[in-house]
Amino acid sequence: MLANLRALFAVIFDIILLRRGPEAMPASQTLLVLVVALNIVGSVILNGADASSLGVAVLQAAVGCAVMLLWFRAALVLSQKGERFLQTMSALLAVNAMFLPAMIPLITALLPYLEKADPANPPPAALFILTLVIAGWALVVQVRIVRAAFECPWIGAILLVLGEVIATGFISMLLFGSPDGAA
């Protein structure tokens, strides 16, 4: 059991380091359910849900995961590569789960500066650059996974990943309103 877990983490780190693709992930529904649950928990922590908004935060995270799963399921079926769904989604969600522990403290530290949007008090440059570098690397890894799964050019993979992000944001805004409550 421990050897299997160690081998799984090795595969995920190799994917993060761009040495392997999603085809190296095991095609397991159990693994997919596990990484979906990890992403929901990580998203709830990232959003900093308190006890009063915990239910909404869990629902928002679940909707985000569901949109991602449906988006790539539809895209893989349309491209006649539906058999790659389990490995592709396991890779995407596992990579997201691995980046969340790094992103949670960075975004938490940046949030007060971003909420104030005070030009006289900008966020520390090093913190902002580090956050951008890690988020950028996560995007590169996601695009690489999608490119390998769909066997498409880079621009197609970028459009698929950005389309999923936009679709998730749009559906979240329709269901939950704008983040600041203005709508």
Q: Where are the domains of the chain?
A: 2-176
Q: What pLDDT was estimated at residue 84?
A: 94
Global pTM exceeds 0.85: yes
Quick check: 88 and 96 in contact, CB under 8 A? no
Residue by residue, pLDDT tens for the chain (183 residues) are: 788 889 999 999 999 999 999 999 999 999 999 999 999 999 888 876 555 688 888 999 999 999 999 999 999 999 999 999 999 999 999 999 999 999 988 988 888 888 887 888 888 889 999 999 999 999 999 999 999 999 999 999 999 999 999 999 999 999 988 765 444
**Residue 51: per-residue pLDDT:** 56
Q: What is the pLDDT of residue 50?
A: 57
pLDDT on residue 16:
95
pLDDT for res 68: 96
